[in-house]
Structure 1
Amino acid sequence: MKHNIEKISELLVPSKKFSGDRIYYFEEIESTNSWLLAQNKTPDQTPVRIDGRICLAERQTSGKGRRGKSWIAPASSSVLISIGWGLQESSSQGLSLISGLAVVQSLHELGVTGVKLKWPNDVIADGKKLGGILVEISGLDCVIGVGINVSIPPSFDRQIDQPWTDLYSLGCQVDRDQLVAAIALNHERFLSRYMLTGFASFATRWNALHVYQNQVIEVVSAGDQWSGSALGVDESGALLVECSGSIRRVIGGEVSIRAKTALTENDDKMS
């Protein structure tokens, strides 16, 4: 069943940021993130703020993931949403982690429990990928793309190169329109606080949801590969890993982490 924009609009009434007339809905689009980012300039290159706009789609033909990966999902089987947010400075420090917290809160409100987060941008349930996040910035405009698997046909399993799950497999019958509204409202709630306090006030909460907390992980970056014990994130959102008696800070970029016992690399992917 396709999204009901009128229903979503009604659910967004409590918001001071988002509204139904600022939802841009497509049955098919290349990428919700790319489309929304492209709206921040007019044809004559005049800047236009995309703060408070939402791009929603049933299907993406070129869904984007972190590190050049793709997001694969058939039509109307996921929640594919990109949220525009205005920044005070051109920095994304900790933003994907804040988004993860907002997503987990949204799922919890709809009865989905046991959801964890994998640094920096994966949503995990039952040890498998349930969804992902992609943050992109243009000037002072930020676009946060969120993809959540709702009911993916088993036939798509061969197209996804890592362990994955969806809400249906978890026994959760979630209304996609309610989930869209919850994601928007909780991003407004969490990001408004983030703009005032930065990431520091969220670190403890994020670490409580960290799927690899105090576990041995492997870190792969620019041809370098090493292992250590994941200690969680610091006040800036960097991942702290204890290695050979010292603590190393892992920051964003071309970095992938995985459980030490994994046989294959579970690359991060996002909407």
Structure 2
Amino acid sequence: MSKMVKNPLFAIHHVARVGSTQDAVRRAARSGAPAGYCCVADEQTAGRGRQGRTWQAPANTALLASVLVRTGPATVPGVPFAAGLAVLDALDRVAPIDAQLKWPNDVMAGGRKLAGILTELEPGAAPEDGRAAGVVGLGLNLRVPSFPAGVDGVSLDELAAVVPGRDRVLNAWLDALWRRIDALEARGMPALLDEWRRRAVGLGATVTATTARGAVAGIAEDIADDGSLLVRTRDGVVRLVAGDVHIGASPPDG
């Protein structure tokens, strides 16, 4: 049984426990839910990140939410970047800290992961005025007491003088996300990526990326207009559309 969290712009459904907020919103999208439909959970039992990885946090220690968005086909690649900038916008508003964005979907603070973003298209949802349905998920550590071995995470309570309530962070992120998507559709990818670069960590640094085709090592030169990462290797520039990026000459053990 879900209950509503008040926000005049969104239909925010709160659940105590769910397999995955991402899957819940995808099901709602297939059933005709409008843009702005959001699921937020106290706990996920099957939360996931990119490439099927699990996202775990003890109950009531993280913001775990997904929201349905609608965008035109040309702006779909920009949604993950808009979502990341919206996280920084929200933190600037409710809990100012020094945070950066790491390609493709991480929010970092002090070299550790504060939040992750997952963006997926939902092909089973009927298009509206030619606009595709996408689901944007956010997992943001608020008060996680400890992290599993091999996870270099950080919580907001380690960084901010005062940690706002989860729903306040959620509402700030949703408001910022809508503004960012509106700006993306009005101004296009180049303007969005210019701002993303200014808030990014790792551009110009030596990186090692783990991809489906193997490891790629080199200098992270830039973000291409389609959002891919350009890495200059000894054999030339490689364009990455997906992968895990470690800043440094080699990935950490584990």
Q: 2:107 aligns with which of 123, 130, 142?
A: 123
| C-alpha distance in structure 2 between counterparts of 1:88 and 1:110, whole Å | 30
Matches within 5 A, 1:128-167: 128-139=112-123, 140-154=132-146, 157=147, 159=148, 161-167=150-156
The equivalent of 2:181 in structure 1 is 191
* Alpha-carbon separation, structure 2, partners of 1:245 and 1:94: 29
Name the structure 1 match of 2:233.
243
The answer to which structure has the higher strand fraction is 2
2:30 is paired with a residue whose SS is coil
CA distance in structure 1 between the aligned counterparts of 2:208 and 2:251, rounded to whole angstroms: 11
Is the Cα contact below 8 Å between 1:200 and 1:234 reproduced in 2?
no
Q: Deviations over 1:36-63 (max 9, x none)?
A: 1001234xxxxx1431111111110100
Please tell me whether the aligned partners of residues 116 and 138 of structure 2 are also in contact (alpha carbons under 8 angstroms). Answer: yes
Counterpart among 48, 55, 71 of residue 64 in structure 1: 48
Deviation at 1:244, TM superposition (A): 2.7
Where do 5+ consecutive residues of structure 1 fail to align?
Answer: 43-47, 267-271
Displacement after TM superposition at 1:91 (Å): 6.9
Q: SS of the residue aligned with 1:62?
A: coil
| C-alpha distance in 2 between matches for 1:112 and 1:28 | 29
Give percent identity, aligned residues only.
26
TM-score of the aligned structures, taking structure 2 as reference length: 0.88
Structure 1 stretches of 4+ moved >3 Å: none
Identify the match of residue 201 of structure 1 among 191, 203, 209: 191
CA contact (8 A) 1:36 1:50 kept: no
1:40 to 29, 41, 65: 29
> What amino acid sits opposite 1:107 in the alignment?
L
2:68 paired residue number: 84
> 1:223-250 CA deviation, whole Å, 9 max, x = no partner?
4222111123122211121223733221
Residue 100 (structure 1) shift: 0.5
* 1:241–1:247 contact (8 Å) kept in structure 2: yes
Mapped to 1, the partners of 2:250 and 2:140 lie a distance apart of 23
Question: CA deviation digits over 1:213-271, x for unaligned, max 9?
Answer: 2100012222422211112312221112122373322113xx221123445268xxxxx
- Structure 1 counterpart of 2:163, from 171, 174, 188: 174
CA 1:41–1:245: 2 relative to 1, 3 Å: closer
Which of residues 6, 17, 23 in structure 1 aligns to 2:12? 23
Higher alpha-carbon deviation: 83-92 or 232-241: 83-92
Q: Secondary structure at the match of 2:156?
A: coil
1:94-105 aligned at under 5 Å gives the runs: 94-105=78-89
Q: TM-score, normalised by structure 1?
A: 0.83
Q: Quick one: structure 1 residues 265 and 39, their matched pair in 2 at CA, closer, same or farther if it must change by over 3 Å?
A: farther
How far off is 1:196 after superposition? Answer: 2.7
Q: CA deviation at 1:104?
A: 0.8
Indicate how the Cα distance of structure 1 residues 265 and 118 shifts in structure 2: closer, same or farther if over 3 A, else same: farther
User: Higher relative contact order by CA 8 Å / sep ≥ 6: 1 or 2?
Assistant: 1
Contact 2:231 2:239 in 1 (8 A): yes
8 Å contact from structure 2 (residues 206, 220) kept in 1: yes
- Provide the residue aligned with 1:232 in structure 2: 222
Name the stretch that deviates more: 178-187 or 238-247: 238-247
Structure-2 separation of matches of 1:265 and 1:103: 29
2:252 maps to a residue whose letter is T
